[in-house]
Chains A and B, each alone.
Chain A
Amino acid sequence: MPGPKYPGFDTLALHAGHTPDATFGARAVPIYQTTSYVFRDSEHAASLFNMERAGHVYSRISNPTVAVLEERVAALEGGVGAIATASGQAALHLAVATLMDAGSHIVASNSLYGGSHNLLGYTLRRFGIETTFVNPRNPENFRRALQDNTRLVFGETLGNPGLDVLDIPAVAAIAHDAGLPLLVDATFTTPWLMKPFEHGADLLYHSATKFLGGHGVAIGGVLVDSGRFDWEASGKFAQLTQPYAGFHGMDFEEESGTRAFLLRARREGLRDFGACMAPMTAFQILQGIETLHLRMPRHVENARKVASFLAAHEMVDAVGYPELAQHPDHALARRLLPRGAGAVFSFDLKGGRDAGRRFIESLRVFSHLANVGDAKSLVIHPATTTHYRMSDEDLKKAGIGPGTVRLSIGLEDAEDLIEDLGRALAAAKRSLKAE
C-alpha cells in the first residue's frame, strides 16, 4: 500500500497558507490592510489576549495576509512556523533578541552580509552581546570559539560575497554537541536550492527582499523555526524554559513545546521591538514566491553561463562561484546544493579600484545598486558599498579585495548579460592601458 503523499514544492509555493476567501471567493490572497480586528464580545477579546483562542488582535503581532506568507515559507522550509519581519535584518535581530540577554555570546561565520557583520560586530556589542567571527571553511573553527556563555551559532548558507558554502551538517553537529542551536541566513539559496533544516539547522531566516520576493519591490524578512531544537534539554535558554514576568509568568516551552521559540519571538519580540511586516509587503512577496520554482532554475542557469564566461576572461583574476571546480567549496556545493549554487557571486577584476569603477560604469544591462536576488541583473563593488564599514583586515578575512565585484544574475537572456559584461571588461582593460 503506498504511503500518503505531501504536496509538492511547486504546489505549496502557490497555495500553502491560503484558502479562497470565504465571503467573496477571492482567489488571490486578500490584502488585509487593517491595524486591528473587531472582537465578537468581551469574552472573545479577553480569550484572544490571553492566548486561549487563535486569531488576530493587532497587526503588529499578526495579520491575516502576513500569516499566509509566514505559513507558506514555513511549509516550503519544513518548519513549524514562521514570523515575517520588516526586513531580513529585523529577522536576525528578532532571533538574537529572543534567545539571549546582555552577557551572551555568538559564534558567527566571518563570511557574512555587511549589515549582519555590523549588527553582530558593533551594534549588539553595545547591548552586551559579543560575537566571535570565525572562518567557516573549517567547521572546527566554530567549536574552538565556543564559550560558556555562547548561545547561538550562526552562518550563511552561501557566504557573502565569496560564496563560502556552510557545511551545515558539520557545524550543526558542533552546535548541538554544545547544546546550542544553529541559525542560518538562507537568503542566497532559498528553499528551492536547499532546505537547511534537512541538514541539521535549527532556525533560519531570509531577507525576503531578495529571491523570495524576487522583483526588487518590497523589503521584508522571514524567520523560520524547525521546532527540532529541544530548549528544555539544552538547559541554556531560561528565556524559553522559565516563567517570564513580561508575559504573565508564561513558560514558553511548557506552554507550547515545539512552538516555544516562535511564541516568545512573536509575543515579546514583535510586541516590544515592533519590526513587523506590512500586509502590502507580504502580498508582494507572496507574488514572488508563487514563481520561485520557475525563477530559481533560470537564475542558476544564467549564473552558470556568466560564471563560465568570466572564468575564461583575461581581465578576471578569479571567480568565486562554487560550481566551478577551482572554488574551494566545490565538492561541498555538489553535496549540499545539487540544484545549483545560487545566482549571486563575486569575481576579482584585474586592475584594482579604477578598473572596477570603469567596469561598473560601462555596464548597460546590469544595474549598479545595493541589492541582490532581483529578476534583473545587478552589480556592486562591495569594498566601497555593502562592506565599506569593515576594516581592510576584516575585508581580507571575508575574501573581499579592492577589485572584487559582486554580481546578482537575473532572468534576462544570458547572451545579453555576457555581451554586457564583455563590453565592460573591455572598457576596464582600456582604462588599464590608458594609465
Chain B
Amino acid sequence: MDFVVDGKKAFAYTAAHTIDPAKPTVAFVHGAGLDHSWFGLQSRYFGYHGRNVLALDLPAHGRSEGPPLQAIEAMADWAMRLLDAAKIERASIVGHSMGALTALECAARHPARVERIALLGAAYPMKVTEAFLEAAHANDRAAYDMSTIWGHAEQAPIGGNPNPGMWMYGDNLARLERLAPGVLYAGLKACNDYAAGEASAARIGCPALFIVGSRDQMTRPRMAAAFVKAFKSAQTVLVPGSGHSLMAEAPDATLDALIAFLMTETAQ
C-alpha cells in the first residue's frame, strides 16, 4: 500500500488487507539494501492472523522513493511518520539487522507507540568492515558479494533452501543489484555510525525478543549476547544452523519465535 511520508511515496506491504486501526499492528523493518519482501512469509502470516501488517520499504528501498536516510535515528522517526500516515497509533516492531537497530530506536524514542520489539540478526556495536564500507561507497559489486556471502550461514549456497526451488545467494544479489547507487552504503554507514545502542537499550521498557542465528557471520551470537545484556530484560531464541538471513534460512523457526512473542495474550 502506498503512503505519503515527508511528501514522498512510501510503501508498506499489508498482506493484501486494509488497515484497521482497531486491530493490533506489527511493523517489519528490513536490513540494509533489502526490502519488505525479505519478511514475505512472516509478514503474510500476521496479516492473515488478525494483525495489521506494515512491512516497510525504507526510503530508496523497494517501492519507496529516496533518498536513503543516513542515520538509524532518522529511520526510526521515519517509521513513526509512516505509522502516522497509516493512522496507526501503536505497533509492535520487528526489525532485521539495520532494521533491528531501527526497531530499538523506535521503542527508545517513541515508547508510548511501541508495544514490543523483536530484533533479528542484531548486535551492538554493528561495525562494518572498512573493506565492505569502501566497496559500498564505490558502488563496487564486491559489496554485494560481501553482503550476500556474509549475510548467510556458510552452508547456505550448498544446503537446500526451505523455499522450494529458490537459491538464496541469487535472490539476495538480485535485490542488491536493483538498488540505486549509494543506497547500500548509506545503510551500512548508518549501522556503523550508530552510537546510541547501549543507552537506548537501557531505556527500553517494553518486552524485547532477540532471534539469533547460531551461524550468523555478520552479527555473531556472542555479539548478540553482549547486546542482550544492555537490556533490562530481553528474551533470546537461538535458531540452530541459521545465518544472518533468518527469515530466508530458517523461516519456520523465525515465524514460530515471532508467533510465540507477538501472539500471546499480553501482546493483543
Contacts and interface: CB of A to CB of B under 8 A. Distances in A.
Interface of A: 1, 3-7, 11-12, 15-19, 47, 50-56, 62-64, 66-68, 70-71, 74-75, 78-84, 226-228, 230, 232, 243, 248-251, 254-259, 262, 266
Contact of A227 (B41, B129, B158, B170): B170
B40 interface: yes
B174 A227 contact: yes
Nearest to A254: B13
A164 to B, nearest CB: 29
Contacts of A78: 170, 173
A30 B37 CA distance: 31
A251 B251 CA distance: 21
Contact of A262 (B42, B63, B135, B166): B166
Given A54-B164, A250-B16, A257 B62 contact: yes
Nearest to A77: B170
Contacts of A63: 164
Given A1-B129, A52-B44, A228-B174, A248 B16 contact: yes
Given A19-B159, A228-B177, A54 B41 contact: yes
Interface residues on B, range: 35 or more
Given A80-B167, A257-B62, A258-B174, A7 B158 contact: yes
Interface of B: 13, 16, 35, 37, 40-42, 44-45, 48, 62-63, 129, 131, 135, 142, 145-146, 149-150, 155, 157-167, 169-171, 173-175, 177-178, 251-252, 255
16 contacts: A1-B131, A3-B131, A3-B135, A4-B145, A16-B167, A17-B167, A19-B158, A53-B41, A54-B164, A79-B167, A80-B166, A81-B165, A226-B174, A227-B174, A255-B13, A262-B166
Contacts of A47: 45
Contacts of B16: 243, 248-251
B37 A53 contact: no
Contacts of B35: 257
Contact of B165 (A232, A250, A262): A262
A61 B16 CA distance: 23
B41 A56 contact: no
B18 to A, nearest CB: 12
Given A4-B149, A255-B37, A256-B40, A52 B162 contact: no
B241 to A, nearest CB: 9
Given A3-B142, A74-B165, 6 more contacts: A53-B45, A62-B165, A71-B167, A75-B157, A81-B161, A255-B13
Contacts of A75: 157, 167, 169-170
Contacts of A5: 149
A18 B170 contact: no
